[in-house]
Structure 1
């Protein structure tokens, strides 16, 4: 069975969902140590969270890119995650989904969250045919994420480096076994209708 083109896949429990971000050590290390984002974390800026571990590895180069050396697994409440999805707007205009470009621009400006669907990645970080959710949080959503939805923050930089080392060695089976167990996130079909192309 081929993967559905637009589907949220994540590591999740009955009450939480894990998303990934990467920061400089100045932000990432205190966040992991204290289990919450430090004062230096800008609550008035858009922040992007990714439920896909491999998409995060593509974005941060396995924790090697400048300013993204500390890879974090951020466990947040499912209630918060679903609130963000409900209040999100697709990050680009889509004919047939939005009434017109002006309506989409108004929705985007008001929305505290936005969604992009980018190609999922394989272990070599090559694009796949199905898409991975990227969820941008701004304003109210960013503050809620940092101060209310976050349950735990774990530094998984060493895991990223270990998996990458196995990939470089050609040991894809060991690398695959170490990946977080992501499965389809249970969202009612209609709940994503406003976020699919």
Structure 2
């Protein structure tokens, strides 16, 4: 049986918040001007994730090298859905692609990569639900940086507070501080394209 794959995110009528983890040299300047600048690389794919807890698992609660700062990046929903419309999965899901060759050809030309990974609980356990992460290729990164982003917030202090509460066993208090994420519903055609189920 396939796991449920759905987008859970914090969003409003105009924006959706995605998360990235960086070191100080990239993160702090970005929060001041709501844009990225070198040493952020504009020549490689950058991955954005609307699941806060998934990024916590990836960054080990902002303790991995060059992932000590957690950024909440508000981007325009229109561009988020535009990115998804260009997306090709990182594996050949035969419910979406005709065969492996069909997927391989699409993937090699894709400007956006889409991957589904197990969602996590506050304690780090895997859930049956899979969350999306979206890879923005170098062909779109400047547009992402210049046009998609509305604001970049430093969520590092919040992250450290939640992490400290976890260490103290205060999971109820920690849970109350988590970003309020809910299912983000897409048009049917777009859901089918990226494997929402």
1:85 corresponds to: 84
Q: Secondary structure at 2:122's aligned position in 1?
A: coil
Q: What are the Cα deviations for residues 92-147 of structure 1, in whole angstroms up to 9, with x where unaligned? A: 11234211212111111211111111000001111111011111110332222111
CA contact (8 A) 1:9 1:182 kept: yes
1:97 corresponds to: 96
Query: In structure 1, what is the Cα distance between the partners aligned to 2:26 and 2:122?
Result: 27
TM-score computed with the length of structure 1 as normaliser: 0.94
1:11 corresponds to: 10
Mapped pair 1:136 → 2:135:
yes
Query: In structure 2, what is the Cα distance between the partners aligned to 1:137 and 1:123?
Result: 27
* Displacement after TM superposition at 1:40 (Å): 2.3
Q: Secondary structure at 1:140's aligned position in 2?
A: coil
Q: Secondary structure at 1:152's aligned position in 2?
A: strand
2:60 corresponds to: 61
1:147 corresponds to: 146
Question: Matched residue pairs, number?
Answer: 194
Query: In structure 2, what is the Cα distance between the partners aligned to 1:119 and 1:57?
Result: 13
* Displacement after TM superposition at 1:184 (Å): 0.9
Q: Matches of residues 157-176 of structure 1 in structure 2 within 5 Å?
A: 157-176=156-175
Q: Supply the RMSD in Å over aligned alpha carbons.
A: 1.3
Query: In structure 1, what is the Cα distance between the partners aligned to 2:150 and 2:11?
Result: 12
Query: In structure 2, what is the Cα distance between the partners aligned to 1:39 and 1:188?
Result: 36
TM-score computed with the length of structure 2 as normaliser: 0.94
What 5-or-longer segments of structure 2 have no aligned partner?
A: none
Q: Secondary structure at 1:166's aligned position in 2?
A: helix
Q: What are the Cα deviations for residues 18-67 of structure 1, in whole angstroms up to 9, with x where unaligned? A: 00000010101111122110132111210000000000100111110001
- Runs of 4+ in structure 1 deviating by more than 4 angstroms, as ranges, are none
